[in-house]
Structure 1
Amino acid sequence: MRKLIYGFGVSLDGYINDRDGSIDWSDPDDELHQHHNDRFRELEIVLNGRRLFELMAEYWPHVAADAPPIEREFGQLWTAVPKVVFSRTLTEVAWNSTLVKENAVEEVRRIKAEGDGVAEIGGAELAAAVIPHGLIDEYHVYVSPVVLGGGTPMFPALAERIRLRPLESRRFASAQLLRFQAE
């Protein structure tokens, strides 16, 4: 069975973007960017909600030729990896992507069951749909040294707590990685 990772850059108070939807506070340093590039190489498939997919698709397939090599590399990695985009409103997707309009929980279950590698889920709303069903195997939280006071929370309100086991803590210049395994 595939391992499913939910990872996001968050503010110290747990938001993935600010009240205006901006993530301009979360620019990774070169070491963290390289970490994301290396991690992305290990992914068999990426599951995205509509908003995250649109944000990524706006930039990464079109990285300028004069952009830093680390960004050009991530653009190539992002474009190449198979993606499943969950959206009720999109009519089509590009860049090695498949569109799913219904039954996100069942589709994520199917995707997990059909392989034995690593998948990543991104998008707070999509993750919120699958977290209560115990489908996330690991949580990777990249905490930035900023308090936003509002925005989109990384985690939904839950009826029951989820017990986690710490796996790793790593400091980068721009963020602190906290990695946990669901028990």
Structure 2
Amino acid sequence: MRKVIYSLSVSLDGYIQTTDGQIDWSAPDPELHQFHNAQEAETDTHLYGRRLYEDMASYWPTAATQPDATPEVVEYARIWRDTPKVVFSRTLDSVDHNSTLVRDDLPGTIARLKDQPGKHLSLGGATLAASFFRLGLIDEYRLFIHPVVLGGGTPYFPTHDHRTALHLADSHVFGSGVVYLRYRPA
């Protein structure tokens, strides 16, 4: 069965973006970008909320054509364009870029996707991930912990009223000081 994998960069104090929405502190160097690109081979569907979809759709369709595009960026732009995306939003009227819009029935949609043949499902975006977390729909957590303390912002994990035990499945330290941790629910 396919897994839902929640994977994002996170500050040492647990935030995925600053209080004003900035993520520039998490820009990957070539080593980390290659690792991200390689991980894409494990998935064949991106699951986005509205905000992350809009951010990704504003950059990746033309990223490979930018004069300063690195080989890693060019590769990821191709991956992004080719990968089907499911966008969960009640406010968008339409989506482009190989995307499908879903307005409701998050649990039913995920159950149907997980039952289909294919690779794993890549979940991005803190607001959408919070809904998945509360519904118990996340099968794996992948944190890329950057050596920066933001002091506030959007947390990787939502506030909740229950304990969630996790099992460490893998780890790696990059030359930049970023620490990769892969956890599964215990």
TM-score surpassing 0.5?
yes
- 1:28-55 Cα distance to aligned partner (Å, 9 max, x none): 1111100111111221111011111111
CA change 1:182–1:115 in 2 (3 A) is farther
Q: Is the 8 A contact 1:3 1:116 kept in 2?
A: no
In 2, distance between residues paired with 1:169 and 1:105? Answer: 30
Instruction: State the distance in 2 between where 1:53 and 1:123 align.
Output: 9
CA contact (8 A) 2:172 2:181 kept: yes
1:127 corresponds to 2:129: yes
- AA aligned to 1:13 is D
Match status 1:60 vs 2:60: yes
Task: Give the Cα separation in 1 of the matches to 2:66 and 2:126.
Answer: 31
CA–CA separation in structure 2 for the residues paired with 1:24 and 1:44:
26
Match of 1:20 in 2: 20
Partner of 2:173: 171
Aligned to 2:117: 115
CA change 1:68–1:116 in 2 (3 A) is closer
Alignment partner of 1:143 is 2:145: yes
User: What do the CA deviations read for 1:79-136 (whole angstroms, capped 9, x no partner)?
Assistant: 1101000111111111110001112232122212223521111111111111122211
Q: How many residues align?
A: 183
Instruction: Indicate the residue corresponding to 1:181 in structure 2.
Output: 184
CA distance in 1: counterparts of 2:113 and 2:104, whole angstroms = 14
- CA distance in structure 1 between the partners assigned to 2:126 and 2:110 by the alignment: 15
Deviation of the 1:155 alpha carbon: 0.8
- Which aligned pairs between 1:80-119 and structure 2 lie closer than 5 A? 80-119=82-121
C-alpha contact 1:47 1:83 (8 A) present in aligned 2 = yes
Write the mapping of 1:5-84 to structure 2, written as runs, cut at 5 A. 5-63=5-63, 64-66=65-67, 67-84=69-86
Which aligned runs of 4 or more in structure 1 are off by greater than 4 angstroms?
none
Aligned pair 1:157/2:159, yes or no? yes
Q: Percent identity?
A: 49
AA at the equivalent of 1:149: G
Using the alignment, how far apart are the partners of 1:178 and 1:164 within structure 2? 11
Unaligned runs of 5+ in 1: none
Is the CA contact 2:44–2:118 (under 8 Å) kept in the aligned structure 1? Answer: no
SS state at 1:161 partner: coil
Q: TM-score, normalised on structure 1?
A: 0.95
**Distance 1:116-1:159 versus aligned 2 partners, 3 A rule:** farther
Q: How far, CA to CA, are the matches of 2:163 and 2:112 in structure 1?
A: 25
